[in-house]
Amino acid sequence: MYSKIIILTFPPEVAQKALVCQLVKKFDLLFNILSAKISNQKQGLMVMEISAASRPGFNKGINFLKQQGVTVSTPEHQIFKDDQICTHCGACTAVCPTQALHIRRPAMEVVFDKKKCSVCELCIVTCPSRAMGLFTKEPETVA
């Protein structure tokens, strides 16, 4: 089983189409929506985990989305932790649903594992020192 967390950016003209449902029907992919902000008037954004029996099957589904005008990128390059201002209070670890943020013991340091991050952004609003944030550069595109 091949699985990956991805970010889909929908232009306004396709935001209301049932493209994600077609991933199941046409490509036999499974999906878990982790976060979504979609409006028919504006660009939509969806963070999801897609699972496939094989990587080629996954790639067929991704290519379908791209052909529909959807931008597909990975979340690893979206959230960052600024180690210079992090106070290691652990507030972010309490709200992280994927345990991408956890405390390393016995040092009591907050560690950020980008591979586990679902880009839910709960850490950003929870962090009292504002050590968690979003990258402003373009995310990596999935091939």
pLDDT in tens, 35-78: 788 776 778 888 888 999 988 899 999 999 999 999 888 765 57
Q: Indicate the pLDDT class of residue 143, thresholds 50, 70 and 90.
A: low
Residue 103 lies in a domain: yes
Question: How many whole angstroms separate alpha carbon 102 and alpha carbon 135?
Answer: 21
Domain-terminating residue out of 25, 55, 73: 73
Question: How many whole angstroms separate alpha carbon 46 and alpha carbon 54?
Answer: 22
Whether the per-residue pLDDT at 142 is higher than 60: the answer is no
Residue closest to 62 by CA, chosen among 123, 20, 114? 20
63 and 19 housed in the same domain: yes
Helix (H) or strand (E) holding 49: strand 44-52
Whether the per-residue pLDDT at 29 is higher than 90: the answer is yes
69 and 108 housed in the same domain: no
Query: Which CATH number does the domain housing residue 114 bear?
Result: 3.30.70.20
Domain-terminating residue out of 27, 49, 73: 73
Query: Which CATH number does the domain housing residue 69 bear?
Result: 3.30.70.260
Q: Which domain holds residue 60?
A: 2-73
Contacts 24+ apart (CB under 8 A), 102-108: none
* Domain total in the chain: 2
77 near 139, Cβ under 8 Å?
yes
